Chains A and B, each alone.
Chain A
């Protein structure tokens, strides 16, 4: 190896060192952001890693975690026995007695395995009335009046969660300081592509549909965003708890109580309804007036 090539290597490594130098700034950035406590990423969104945690001092079990935007609380472990009874009554015929998606005489894979999905998922499906399913063979379960009460849902969630503790827990959003404008922008970016910009929901491909958001309680909106029921994607890393709270605020105010300053909202159906009104009430009424003032033989 000649002296010149050694010199070259030394020069190159020097250049590389300076060239890589700016990356240090990014490392610094990453460090800087990690100590703003509640930054979320794909792994920790909706889990205790993203927030301050309250632990039961006697057992060491996480009771709740969260931040000023959303508090996630674990269903009380004391409810688990009641929960198992309720599960056997209402859910086991499909999901099996072990909640693993294998019913008594069935094959595995026919129904979803519920072990390790987290209490929020169980709570969402039961409290939105989708489970117990009206028609287990339906492609998509419809929202309806819940068959179980809030506490019963929590009990089922507590028992299923006791099989393999996992997250997210059942959320409670704190909407007081939410920014509805940020929520509107995030809604347009993340939700409108399926739920429509007015939140009415619509038919998707095949027999699936995106449900209307017009009458959904705030905590269920959080549950849906964090757990991704059905076809809906699970929003984790790209939405922080603060952003989720902003979206929930926008949904529960402007989507559910839209400011129809211009008069009757016409069902939020947009140009379809407007076309009907314009043609029938507008042109139709005027043609009738013409019929009235004109000769009619």
Chain B
């Protein structure tokens, strides 16, 4: 072979073989690690297109942002309660004795380039993270996606919600400012309220009596290492199970219990989801840049002797705070011991019951409906009125508890007497689930009765005749909506293997 031939472009590409440089590199990788088979499965993973499947991704990408901004913050944050004299650029604190944790938090906000942006993005991202988990969870619940075979993923998801709330609280406490210090004080009291072991547990967690010096370093390790590692592991398990068990899907054209209709991972979904990552990051960055969150410099450092009125926790702790606020002051004194029911019941027993119901729900539903079949097609919420009503009832209860955490703000804003707002919230919290359940149930029943419910409305085409008469003619129904599978699917007792339908072009399906 002569040298001039090798130098031409075509000859070079021929020498590379049919797969090009990238293909060759992948071939080399496949020879050693055998990535082709798994990679193929991954690239061909089918994602349903329905928009509500993006809600979980908001949480996932918020978590990514939390990790990135969090790493930035750890570079400047000092987890220490040692006292230093603050001499920084925020003059109203100049010369005050503050903890190193507080001083470093203020310094990273004012003296570090982009420090405040990162701190605010971290905080907003946390609010969005837990919000997205809740919305995602609601979608999973109301469409019945938690049913067999996905109960395990429901359990993991609920655990992730709890871990997110706990880690959010720990992170909120780290700056050691006046407001978060009050929060730690409340948390300490909640631990103390647990009968028999409370005081021992409190000393174990806080390394002594409140406030002590151990709490900030301990919270730091928990917030930055232990809990994020657990969350990361569980997110991995959540996604592994998602790929392993494949997605659920709404009933529709060509969709059965045995297939998944949607777009493949590569290239369509990958482009879409990467774009969505950037949108989540962009919205978080906009909030971080333009909306102030938790201005700790205005709050000042925490000291046990100082307190600010009108302190609320972040929104995801709101339902606990609300329950604490409205609970009557019942306590039980006997044999030289006090059991403070006004703390124990709303802040330990109530969340315990709520989360245990969440964990147990798939099993409970199986027991009550006797539906032991596997489900890959989702329910329309109106087709399962009892479940939907129960979910809305719990949401109403939690929302009312959440609103109860701002009794003082409402009383002040609307110039109402605080005590009456408190009583109104007590009544609303108790009656809200009992009002929400029947209303939701009735709405579901009505929706079931609507002919063509859930289908898009067709347009009316108005034409004017030569005589000047206007005639409205309904346009033909959308082709997709003619399909019978949009109707309510019956609860199957067993899965019938159906042959795949003939698909139109552009719709890809895979066998389960």
Contacts and interface: CB of A to CB of B under 8 A. Distances in A.
Interface of A: 179-185, 188-189, 192-198, 200-207, 209-210, 250, 253-254, 258-266, 269-272, 274-275, 277-279, 281-283, 285-287, 289-297
Contact of A271 (B308, B313, B408): B313
Q: Is the interface of B mostly helix, strand, loop or mixed?
A: helix
Given A196-B311, A283-B131, A293-B276, 7 more contacts: A181-B96, A203-B416, A261-B116, A264-B292, A266-B293, A286-B132, A297-B481
B76 interface: no
A290 B308 contact: no
A260 B295 contact: yes
A254 B299 CA distance: 11
A225 B228 CA distance: 48
Interface of B: 48-55, 57-58, 90-96, 109-110, 116, 120, 124, 127-128, 131-132, 135, 178-179, 252, 272, 275-276, 279-280, 283-284, 287, 289-295, 297-300, 303, 305-315, 318, 406-409, 411-412, 415-419, 421, 456, 480-481
A262 B293 contact: yes
Q: Is the interface of A mostly helix, strand, loop or mixed?
A: helix
Contacts of B290: 263-264
B236 to A, nearest CB: 22
Contact of B91 (A181, A200, A283, A293): A181
B464 to A, nearest CB: 32
Given A196-B310, A271-B312, A282-B284, A289 B179 contact: no
Contacts of B96: 181, 184-185
B310 A200 contact: yes
Given A210-B309, A260-B295, A272 B283 contact: no
A262 B109 CA distance: 9
Among B50, B310, B409, B416: residue with most chain A CB under 10 A: B310
Contacts of A282: 124, 127-128, 131, 283-284, 287
B120 A263 contact: yes
A261 B49 contact: no
Contacts of A196: 308-311
Given A189-B305, A202-B310, A272-B312, A286 B299 contact: no
Given A181-B91, A275-B314, A291-B51, A188 B308 contact: yes
Contact of A203 (B95, B116, B418): B418
A281 B127 CA distance: 11
Contact of A197 (B178, B312, B315, B406): B178
B408 A203 contact: yes
Given A275-B314, A275-B315, A286-B283, A261 B292 contact: yes
Contacts of B287: 277-278, 281-282
B55 A287 contact: yes
A291 B51 CA distance: 5
A266 B416 CA distance: 22
A294 B408 contact: no
Contact of B54 (A188, A271, A272, A290): A290
B50 A294 contact: yes
B386 to A, nearest CB: 26
Contact of B280 (A194, A277, A286): A286
Contacts of A206: 417-419
A192 B124 contact: no
Given A200-B310, A275-B314, A282-B284, A184 B58 contact: no
A184 B315 contact: no
Given A197-B299, A274-B294, A282-B284, A202 B309 contact: yes
A254 B417 contact: no
B292 A294 contact: no
A280 to B, nearest CB: 9
Contact of A254 (B252, B289, B298, B305): B298
Nearest to A201: B412
A294 B456 CA distance: 16
A185 B252 CA distance: 64
17 contacts: A179-B95, A193-B309, A202-B309, A203-B421, A206-B417, A207-B418, A261-B292, A262-B291, A270-B179, A270-B311, A271-B314, A281-B283, A287-B58, A289-B276, A292-B51, A294-B51, A297-B50
A281 B54 CA distance: 16
A293 B54 contact: yes
A185 B90 contact: no
B248 to A, nearest CB: 14
Contact of A204 (B124, B298, B418): B418
A194 B306 CA distance: 11
A282 B123 CA distance: 12
A62 to B, nearest CB: 35
Contacts of A296: 50-51
B120 to A, nearest CB: 5
Given A254-B298, A277-B291, A294 B406 contact: no
A272 B406 contact: yes
Contacts of B312: 270-272
A220 B184 CA distance: 36
Contacts of A271: 294, 312-315, 318
Contacts of A295: 48-51
Given A271-B315, A290-B57, A285 B283 contact: yes
B311 to A, nearest CB: 7
A141 to B, nearest CB: 13
B49 A181 contact: no
Among B96, B298, B314, B415: residue with most chain A CB under 10 A: B298
A195 B411 CA distance: 14
Nearest to B293: A274
A195 B110 contact: no
A233 to B, nearest CB: 14
B445 to A, nearest CB: 23
Contact of B109 (A253, A261, A264): A261
Nearest to A275: B315
What are the nearest 4 A-B pairs in CB distance? A294-B51, A275-B315, A290-B54, A278-B127
B310 A270 contact: yes
A181 B93 contact: yes
Contacts of B178: 188, 192, 197
Among A181, A182, A260: residue with most chain B CB under 10 A: A181
B58 A262 contact: no
